[in-house]
Structure 1
Amino acid sequence: MTDPQRPPLPPFTSETAITKVRLAEDAWNTRDPGRVALAYTTDTVWRNRNEFIDGRQQVIDFLTRKWQKEREYRLIKELWAFGEERIAVRFAYEWHDEHGNWFRSYGNENWAFDENGLMRQRHASINDLAINEAERLFRWPLGRRPDDHPGLSELGL
């Protein structure tokens, strides 16, 4: 069985790459591992920090663990560069641990897509910065970032 297409499809233009990045951000902000995993090929390969992930089921397992640890997760992604079937993004997200300690995590991702618009590779480098609750910048209600909320560049991040 072939996976359905996930537009926009490669080759990417500036407009379609920006759309693809926002769709990814929106999906991750649902914190629904099953939904997020549908954007990846069944044999997707990831490097996330120091963890290597192989296949959609491992993506689901990873994201389940992630969002159990990273509570009240809110993410902003921004297009950095793109090519025919590749996109590079920078991102930041805020979350707190089980003790109420807040963090802002910064990172970069490199993505490669198949012809159906599914991500076949994801390479992520991420650093965590401890912040005070008062330093938080991502305060929208859990879920999709509102269209009028500033992005990373507007926030000076």
Structure 2
Amino acid sequence: MVQERPPLPPFSYETALQKVQSAEDAWNTRDPQRVALAYTEDSVWRNRDTFLTGRAEIIAFLTWKWEHELDYALRKNLWTFAENRIAVRFQYESHDPSGQWWRSYGNELWEFDDHGLMRRREASINDVRIDESERRIFGPRPKEDYGQESPLK
């Protein structure tokens, strides 16, 4: 039996916002098992130059990611939506094991099945070296900041 992951498509503006915030909240846990439950068993991804298929590969990738992108904190913003698709802009900050901080900027294209599980994710991401003093993303977003846009620079 397939689990449903509300909100379900077709998306309205409000339900698309909910879907984006729930993804941000899940990714900020840095729990690969939890995050992977939002994707179909055969979900396909492109993350930068990495191509993945299925939850097992997603879990392995996210495990590796969060072992290398330390103190990861993410902000996602809805860009647009239609029917069963959502486009997202995002920024996250993390530091590598040497202590160098990075701000990563990206865009994602999401496609969902009828049960609200993501069956396709394509992410394009660029990294900018920052000083720790330039950080502006600290942990999960407080509820009072839901929907706030992230500054471009």
TM-score interval (norm. to shorter): over 0.9
Change (3 A) 1:126 1:77: same
Please report how far the alpha carbon of residue 155 of structure 1 lies from its aligned counterpart in structure 2 after TM superposition: 3.4
Please report how far the alpha carbon of residue 145 of structure 1 lies from its aligned counterpart in structure 2 after TM superposition: 1.5
Q: 146, 149, 152: which one pairs with 1:153?
A: 149
Tell me if the contact between 1:92 and 1:152 (Cα under 8 Å) persists in the aligned partners. Answer: no
**Alignment match, 2:51:** 52
Please report how far the alpha carbon of residue 154 of structure 1 lies from its aligned counterpart in structure 2 after TM superposition: 5.2
Tell me if the contact between 1:76 and 1:152 (Cα under 8 Å) persists in the aligned partners. Answer: no
**Alignment match, 1:73:** 72
Please report how far the alpha carbon of residue 3 of structure 1 lies from its aligned counterpart in structure 2 after TM superposition: 2.2
**Alignment match, 2:115:** 116
C-alpha offsets along residues 46-98 of structure 1, whole Å, 9 cap, x if unaligned? 00000000001000000000000000000000000000000000000000000
Name structure 2 gaps, 5 residues minimum. Answer: none
**Alignment match, 1:126:** 125
Query: Secondary structure of 1:31's match?
Result: coil
| Match runs of 1:71-110 below 5 Å | 71-110=70-109
Name structure 1 gaps, 5 residues minimum. Answer: none
Number of matched pairs: 153
Tell me if the contact between 2:17 and 2:147 (Cα under 8 Å) persists in the aligned partners. Answer: no
**Alignment match, 1:15:** 14
Segments ≥4 residues shifted beyond 2 Å = 148-157
Give distance in 2, aligned partners of 1:59 and 1:34.
9
Change (3 A) 1:156 1:52: closer
Give distance in 2, aligned partners of 1:104 and 1:56.
26
Change (3 A) 1:125 1:149: same
What is the one-letter code of the residue matched to 2:109?
Answer: N
Tell me if the contact between 2:9 and 2:83 (Cα under 8 Å) persists in the aligned partners. Answer: yes
**Alignment match, 1:24:** 23
Tell me if the contact between 2:106 and 2:124 (Cα under 8 Å) persists in the aligned partners. Answer: yes
> Which TM-score applies when normalising by structure 2?
0.96
What is the one-letter code of the residue matched to 1:137?
Answer: R
